[in-house]
């Protein structure tokens, strides 16, 4: 309830013919030594208004200073042209004159102009009323998520977001904008995730987060504590959020080209054991061929052939029509199938046929080159042969952060990871078999993945689909970028909550910011680190808040505290991965076991052990290493280069 005790007023509403009060805006004056500033929340009401039952809340959006001078020349004459003159001959009267936008009126009907009355600084209860937080903060099933502290005018009031409008189903998604390094976009997301995990309503079920690390070590140390000041700890206590790092973090990173060393900056000996390899094979990749193939030269014929491979060949026993039976499960198997087809067309048909199963040989050569090139460009993420290592689909855990480190991966590989992970999340949330009820997906650099111009890529289409329909599934997008004006309008437009850090003046000059007053823009351009402007469906005007430093180690601080280790030799890397699975494994036993063995065989055996996770790791590794894992027993045979068939089409593939 609103406290009816009337505090000391700090100003009075004033309305003139030129600047009248309206239902959405009013003006007031204060003494020159006031604590009011841009972004402060004030209350109009009480005795003297003529409407003691009406209370109006507003946020200051503009300020002016006036004296009784008619023109500047009068001041020059009064100082006798000397600006160094300390005491003017006459003490001039001056005031502070403010403009405020209405946040809320009680009662809300009938909607009337703001009455003339005294102005007060808003207390904590007034802030809750002004921002309509009382509707979800004090309800029978609260859905309030702390986002920061309102600190204007010397106050320290918590500000909450409505989980139904942040994580669905009423509205969803969050967008953060600001200049790099000063807007603290990543820090804001880290704090907000900690707040969500601490305050996610029990009746909404279980929640997890998937974060794509696309810049250096930004998100590689979410499980390591940061050094917090006493002021930050006080703010955490005020907001009711634990000032500790995330308790459950699972990190995934692709392997490097050698197939054993992890492609991440979290390779310090004390931390590398917590990183899971992320490797995919043909089965995981082929469904997302559209992401990887150049749409300029992959036409309808190539699409038809890829669909044929996906529906009729992959994972099935398949007769190529030339007397050879194949079972295609890896890129190596696919290459053998293509070689068999080309050899068959050349040898059996005598070079007179240029089609196979209605597909032209030039189209098949094109698709072969593109598909096999994937395992070359994304080596370490995409494996030619052997089992895959993936996220724990259908086994996601409550209040767990899953970090996928793709900062050092080829851009093509980054698109593949994003497309496949988000598609799998959507599919399993639709079937309610993921293990959690809601997933927050954090994507940085939206300017790259969902630009406002350029072609409609697979990744852009997926981001649009999430932003428009994800809230019904519990799939929530937290996106960040430097230039909001250059992100696709439907992606930022569907974000129910928008947060702004320090902004560039050129960005503020774009049409998307015309609703802000010049004073608000000036404040946005000079915001200190840790202060943000928030727009939320319940807030009728943007609000400035301050959030505490995240309780986790920043990326660059983590690299300094835990310097990345150099790549280790092949046998030592194998030992490290096996010891991570079973502390009883002796390094010398492993090195003796893999001595003089082909590295490809060792990689396949190691991948099988990671996927199976047996009780006796060394015994199982010895068993699978004794036979070739997931590969046909091959006989040495030479493959002759297949010359182009004649006649064929003019396609250069």
31-35, 127-131, 173-177, 470-474: segment of lowest average pLDDT: 31-35
Examine the pLDDT at 211 and tell me if it is beyond 90.
yes
pLDDT at 641: 43
d(CA 518, CA 539): 20
pLDDT at 428: 93
pLDDT at 580: 79
Examine the pLDDT at 546 and tell me if it is beyond 90.
yes
Examine the pLDDT at 344 and tell me if it is beyond 90.
no
Helices 361-377 and 300-308: crossing angle in degrees, nearest 10, is 70
Higher pLDDT, 322 or 163: 163
36-45, 58-67, 178-187, 401-410: segment of lowest average pLDDT: 178-187
- Tell me the per-residue pLDDT of 86-135, one tens digit each, with 9 for 90 and over: 676 667 778 889 999 999 998 888 888 999 889 999 988 899 999 999 99
Give me the chain's average pLDDT, please. Answer: 85
The full set of domains in the chain, from first to last, is: 11-130 (no CATH), 152-278+397-560 (3.40.50.300), 293-377 (no CATH)
Pairing of strands 438-443, 475-481: parallel
Examine the pLDDT at 379 and tell me if it is beyond 50.
yes
Q: What percentage of the chain reaches a pLDDT higher than 70?
A: 91
Pairing of strands 118-121, 325-327: unpaired
Most confidently predicted of 60-69, 224-233, 317-326, 336-345: 224-233
- What average pLDDT does the segment 365-389 reach? 81
pLDDT at 51: 57
d(CA 14, CA 131): 24
For residues 382, 379, 217 and 224, what is the CA-based torsion angle, rounded to 10 degrees? 50
- Tell me the per-residue pLDDT of 397-454, one tens digit each, with 9 for 90 and over: 999 999 999 998 888 888 889 989 999 999 999 999 999 999 999 998 888 888 888 7
- Tell me the per-residue pLDDT of 625-644, one tens digit each, with 9 for 90 and over: 875 444 443 334 444 444 44
- What average pLDDT does the segment 298-303 reach? 77
Beta bridge partners of 144: 162
Q: Residues near 638 by Cβ (< 8 Å), separated by ≥ 6?
A: none
- What average pLDDT does the segment 77-81 reach? 75
For tokens 């997931």, the residue is 630
d(CA 406, CA 264): 8
Output helix, strand, coil percentages for the chain, rounded to the nearest 5: 35, 20, 45
Q: How far does the chain reach from its first CA to its final CA, in angstroms?
A: 75
pLDDT at 349: 63
d(CA 32, CA 286): 69
- What average pLDDT does the segment 216-232 reach? 91
């Amino acid at each position: 309830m609103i406290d009816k005790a009337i505090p000391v007023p700090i100003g009075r509403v004033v309305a003139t013919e030129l600047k009248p009060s309206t239902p959405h805006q009013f003006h007031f004056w204060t003494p020159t030594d006031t604590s009011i500033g841009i972004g402060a929340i004030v209350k109009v009401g009480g005795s003297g208004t003529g409407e003691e039952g009406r209370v109006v809340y507003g946020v200051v959006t503009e300020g002016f200073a006036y004296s009784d001078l008619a023109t500047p020349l009068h001041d020059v004459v009064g100082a006798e042209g000397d600006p160094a003159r300390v005491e003017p001959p006459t003490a001039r009267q001056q005031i502070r004159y403010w403009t405020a936008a209405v946040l809320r009126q009680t009662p809300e009907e009938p909607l009337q102009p703001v009455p003339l009355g005294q102005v007060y600084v808003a207390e904590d209860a007034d802030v809750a009323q002004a921002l309509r937080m009382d509707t979800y903060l004090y309800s029978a099933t609260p859905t309030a998520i702390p986002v920061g502290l309102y600190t204007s005018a010397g106050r320290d009031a918590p500000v909450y977001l409505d989980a139904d409008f942040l994580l669905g189903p009423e509205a969803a998604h969050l967008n953060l904008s600001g200049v790099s390094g000063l807007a603290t976009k990543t820090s804001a997301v880290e704090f907000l995730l900690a707040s969500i995990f601490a305050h996610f309503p029990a009746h909404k079920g279980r929640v997890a987060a998937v974060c794509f690390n696309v810049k250096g070590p930004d998100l590689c140390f979410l499980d390591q504590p940061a050094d917090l000041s006493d002021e930050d700890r006080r703010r955490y206590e005020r907001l009711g959020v634990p000032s500790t790092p995330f308790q459950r973090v699972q990190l995934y990173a692709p392997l490097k080209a050698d197939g054993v060393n992890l492609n991440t900056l979290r390779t310090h000996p004390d931390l590398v054991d917590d990183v899971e390899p992320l490797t995919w094979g043909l089965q995981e990749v082929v469904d997302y061929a559209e992401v990887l193939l150049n749409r300029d030269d992959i036409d309808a014929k190539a699409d038809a052939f890829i669909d044929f491979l996906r529906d009729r060949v992959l994972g099935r026993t398949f007769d190529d029509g030339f007397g050879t039976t194949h079972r295609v499960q890896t890129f190596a198997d696919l290459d053998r199938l293509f070689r068999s087809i080309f050899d068959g067309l050349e040898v059996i048909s005598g070079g007179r046929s240029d089609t196979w199963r209605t597909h032209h040989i030039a189209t098949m050569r094109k698709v072969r080159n593109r598909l096999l090139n994937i395992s070359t460009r994304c080596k370490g993420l995409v494996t030619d042969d052997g089992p895959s290592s993936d996220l724990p689909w259908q086994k996601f855990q409550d209040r767990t952060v899953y970090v996928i480190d793709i900062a050092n991966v080829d851009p093509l590989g980054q698109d593949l990871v994003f497309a496949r992970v988000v598609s799998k999340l959507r599919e399993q949330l639709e079937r309610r078999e993921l293990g959690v009820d809601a997933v927050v997906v954090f994507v940085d650099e939206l300017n790259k993945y969902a630009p406002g111009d350029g072609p409609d890529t697979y990744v852009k289409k997926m981001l649009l689909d999430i932003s428009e329909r994800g809230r019904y599934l519990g799939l929530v997008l937290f996106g960040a970028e430097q230039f909001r004006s250059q992100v696709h309008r439907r992606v930022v437009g569907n974000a129910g909550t928008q947060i702004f850090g320090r902004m560039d003046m050129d960005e503020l000059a774009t049409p998307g910011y015309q609703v802000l007053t010049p004073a608000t823009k000036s404040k946005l351009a000079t915001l200190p680190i840790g202060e943000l402007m928030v727009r939320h469906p319940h807030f009728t005007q943007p609000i400035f808040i301050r959030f505490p430093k995240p309780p986790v180690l920043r990326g660059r601080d983590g690299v300094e505290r835990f310097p990345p280790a150099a790549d280790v030799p092949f046998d030592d890397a194998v030992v490290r991965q096996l010891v991570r699975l079973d502390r009883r494994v002796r390094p010398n036993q492993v090195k003796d076991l893999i001595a003089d063995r082909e590295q490809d065989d060792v990689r396949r055996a190691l991948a099988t052990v990671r996927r199976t996770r047996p009780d006796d790791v060394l015994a199982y590794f010895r068993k699978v290493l004794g036979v070739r894992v997931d590969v046909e027993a091959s006989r040495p045979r030479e493959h002759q280069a297949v010359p182009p068939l004649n006649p064929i089409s003019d396609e250069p593939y």
